[in-house]
Structure 1
Amino acid sequence: MTIKTLLAALMLGGSAAALAADTDGQFRLNELLSSDPVYQQSWQELVEDESRLPEWVMNLSGLATPMLGLEDDGDKYLVGQLCEEQNCFNQRLYVAFSWDKEDAYALYVQLPDGLPTDKAPSQHASLRWLGDPDEATQKLLLEQLKSDPNWY
């Protein structure tokens, strides 16, 4: 590895770490829409063209984990997870907002109720993309889903 390659890798890693440090834990999806009208507008533009979404998805009103600042292929995103309060494992939403807040993308994950514990959730899930994310953004959201230790 050349010195330039090593320096570039260190700089990239440092910028990703700085990005994560700037945002990690500061935001939750269920609070984001009320915190900034630009996020609210981006989310409304995403859901207005979608049909048959539950109320908790439309309003981002479920249980949320802290959001993360992530970078993928030079694009920065604020990424978070939300789930339906009464059925958190079976009804989930993974959302990525572009760093400029102008675009929102989501992965809506549904599992059938009563799925036996010996059945792999990944084999029985229904995945629905919202907002027409490109391949890189889909990969980013899928990585968030796959990071769940109960997802196999």
Structure 2
Amino acid sequence: MKAKAQAFRALVVAGLFAGSGLALAAGNDGQTQVNGLLSTDPVYLTTWKKVVTREERLPDWVINLSGTSTQQMTAVEEHGDKYLVGPLCESQQACDHERLIVAFSWDKEDAYGLLANVPAALPADTSPRKTEYRWLGKPNAGMQQLLTEQLGKQ
């Protein structure tokens, strides 16, 4: 009888995790790249479209998240809120000069981006001072810090 009760509890706990955002994160964390994210769930596409339609003169690879992803997306926490975060470049060669870091809230309702552009042919010691940052999705100061930190890890 005790074994049945333990098995039942294990099933209930597994069911709770399967229905929660934690299961979504475990399924996405380390398995999804930014350039494939919009095809995994139409809610991501809808959310990203809300971000980019407010912006002018964005490259197509940013609008469609269709560039090259060099790393898997990861789960990151900012002030108690969880986000799925990852990098994207137009191409592998372009990553040295232009990179996008995106963050989607766990519930997929909000998305933010940091498009960083370093002018080509600058010496490495001057490029951080000359980098142009473009924020997408109107991130608050905490989100800007998260995106900047993620950019620094790339």
Equivalent residue, structure 2, for 1:8: none
Instruction: Tell me, yes or no, if structure 1 residue 141 matches structure 2 residue 154.
Output: no
In structure 2, the CA distance between the partners of 1:19 and 1:146, relative to structure 1 (3 Å rule), is farther
Partners of 2:86 and 2:103 within 8 A in 1: yes
- 1:93-144 CA deviation, whole Å, 9 max, x = no partner? 0000000001100000001112234x33211100010000111111110111
CA contact (8 A) 1:70 1:79 kept: yes
Displaced runs of 4 or more, over 3 A: 18-23
Q: Partners in 1 of 2:25 and 2:43 — Cα distance?
A: 21
Structure 2 distance, partners of 1:47, 1:98, is 16
2:51 is matched with 46
Query: Radius of gyration: which is bigger?
Result: 2
* Structure 2: gaps of 5 or more residues: 1-22
1:58 aligns with 2:41: no
Percent sequence identity over aligned pairs: 53
TM-score when normalising by structure 1: 0.79
Moved more, 50-59 or 120-129: 120-129
TM-score, normalised by the number of residues in structure 2: 0.79
**2:94 aligned counterpart, secondary structure:** coil
1:103 paired to 2:103: no
Corresponding position of 1:68:
74
Q: What's the CA shift for 1:75?
A: 0.5
Contact 1:19 1:70 in 2 (8 A): no
Is contact 1:20-1:70 (8 Å) kept?
Answer: no
List alignment gaps of at least 5 residues for structure 1: 1-17
